[in-house]
Amino acid sequence: AQSVSQHNHHVILSEAASLELGCNYSYGGTVNLFWYVQYPGQHLQLLLKYFSGDPLVKGIKGFEAEFIKSKFSFNLRKPSVQWSDTAEYFCAVKASGGSYIPTFGRGTSLIVHP
């Protein structure tokens, strides 16, 4: 079974700072990877996903993530955060072709000060 670890539980940044949220997974086979975001009072929505091809994936709102297979990582990045990026971020991994059920990390709460 796969598992997901998000190392940063709470992150506080000032506007214009750069962001990197860590996500590591454990699974020996091919995986599908997701980042979801939950803005205050809103539903979870997909930020970006990786299935195959270019390991650098670009998502909405200027976010990107890089899949590094050798490190079992899928870290989320944004070069310059805004106050509106304040949200909770969840990484999820699904074994490709195996279980159809993604496993979620515990989430990272991001607060951006104006």
Positions that interact with other proteins (CB under 8 A): 6, 9, 32, 34, 36, 42-46, 49, 51, 90, 94, 96, 100-102, 104-107
Dihedrals phi, psi of 29, to nearest 5 degrees: -105, -165
Cα-to-chain-centroid distance, residue 87: 12
Cα–Cα distance measured from residue 18 to residue 89, given in angstroms and rounded to the nearest whole number: 15
Given the complex with other proteins, which of 21 and 102 has the nearer CB atom?
102
CB of 2 to other proteins, least distance (A): 12
Nearest to 86 by CA among 40, 23, 17: 40
**Closest CB to other proteins among 79 and 98?**
98
- Whole-angstrom Cα distance, residue 56 to residue 79? 14
Q: Which is nearer to other proteins, 72 or 104 (CB)?
A: 104
CB of residue 70 vs other proteins: minimum separation in angstroms? 22
Please report how close the Cβ of residue 28 comes to other proteins at its closest, in angstroms. Answer: 19
Q: Looking at beta carbons only, is 58 or 106 nearer to other proteins?
A: 106
Please state the closest distance from residue 62 (CB atom) to other proteins, in A.
Answer: 19
Residue among 79, 75, 91 at smallest CA distance from 37:
91
